[in-house]
Amino acid sequence: MALVIPVILCGGSGTRLWPLSRAGFPKQFLVLSGDDSKQSLFQQAVERLNSLKSSEITIGNTLVVTNEEHRFLVLDQLRELQYIDARLLLEPVGRNTAPALTMAALCAQEIGDDQDPILVISPADQTIQNTAAFTKALSDCIHTVETANNMVAILGITPTAPETGYGYIQRAGEKDQNNAFKVNRFVEKPDGKTAQDYIALGTYLWNSGMFVLRASTWLAALKEFRADIFEASQKAWAVRSDDDTGGSNFVRPGKSEFESIPSESIDYAVIEKCPGSNFPIKMIELNAGWNDLGAWDAVWQVGRQDQDGNVTTGDALLTNTKNSLVHANSRLVSAVGVEDLVIVETADAVLVANRSNSQDVKNIVTQLEAQGRAEKNLHRKVSRPWGWYDSVDEGERFKVKRIQVKPGASLSLQMHHHRAEHWIVVKGVAEITNGDQVITLKENQSTYIPQGQIHRLANPGSEPLEIIEVQSGSYLGEDDIVRFEDTYGRS
Rounded Cα gap, residues 256 and 236, in angstroms = 8
- pLDDT for residue 289: 92
In terms of Cα–Cα distance, which of 151, 128, 124, 130 is closest to 140?
151
Instruction: List 170's β-bridge partners, or say none.
Output: 185, 204
Instruction: Tell me if 282 sits within 8 A of 172, measured CB to CB.
Output: no
In terms of Cα–Cα distance, which of 371, 370, 314, 374 is closest to 348?
374
CATH no. for 2-286: 3.90.550.10
- pLDDT for residue 33: 66
- Identify whether 19 is preceded by a cis peptide bond (ω within 30 of 0): yes
Single pTM value for the model: 0.92
DSSP state of 288: S
CB atoms within 10 A of CB 67: 18
**381-485 belongs to which homologous superfamily?**
Jelly Rolls (2.60.120.10)
Report helix, strand or coil for 127.
strand
Q: Parse the chain into domains and list their residue ranges.
A: 2-286, 305-367, 381-485
Q: What is the pLDDT of residues 66-95, one digit of tens each?
A: 998 899 899 999 999 988 889 999 999 999
Query: Side chain identity at 263, as an amino acid letter?
Result: S
- pLDDT for residue 14: 80
DSSP state of 334: E
Q: In what order do the strands lie in the sheet with 430-434?
A: 437-441, 430-434, 455-458, 413-415, 482-485
In terms of Cα–Cα distance, which of 378, 379, 434, 426 is closest to 405?
426
Residue 200's φ and ψ, nearest 5 degrees, are: -65, -35
Of the listed ranges 5-14, 331-340, 388-397, the one predicted with least confidence: 5-14
Q: What percent of the chain has pLDDT over 90?
A: 86
Residue 37: is its pLDDT beyond 80? no
Model confidence band, residue 147 (pLDDT cutoffs 50, 70, 90)? confident
Rounded Cα gap, residues 440 and 460, in angstroms = 9
- pLDDT for residue 245: 66
- pLDDT for residue 112: 64
In terms of Cα–Cα distance, which of 315, 301, 360, 376 is closest to 21?
376
Residue 34: is its pLDDT beyond 60? no
Residue 490: is its pLDDT beyond 90? no
What does pLDDT average to over the chain?
Answer: 93
Q: In what order do the strands lie in the sheet with 325-328?
A: 311-313, 325-328, 341-345, 350-354
* Cα angle 123-125-130, degrees, rounded to a multiple of 5: 90
- pLDDT for residue 247: 59
- pLDDT for residue 430: 97
Model confidence band, residue 55 (pLDDT cutoffs 50, 70, 90)? confident
Residue 160: is its pLDDT beyond 60? yes
Q: What percent of the chain has pLDDT over 70?
A: 98
2-286 and 381-485 agree in CATH topology: no
3-state helix, strand, coil in the chain (%, to 5): 25, 35, 40
Q: What is the pLDDT of residues 223-245, one digit of tens each?
A: 999 999 999 999 999 999 988 76
Residue 187: is its pLDDT beyond 70? yes
Helix (H) or strand (E) holding 2: strand 2-9
Helix (H) or strand (E) holding 330: none
CB atoms within 10 A of CB 99: 30
Q: Which of 378 and 247 is assigned the larger pLDDT?
A: 378
Mean pLDDT (whole number) for 399-405: 97
Rounded Cα gap, residues 221 and 21, in angstroms = 34
- pLDDT for residue 246: 57
Instruction: List 480's β-bridge partners, or say none.
Output: none
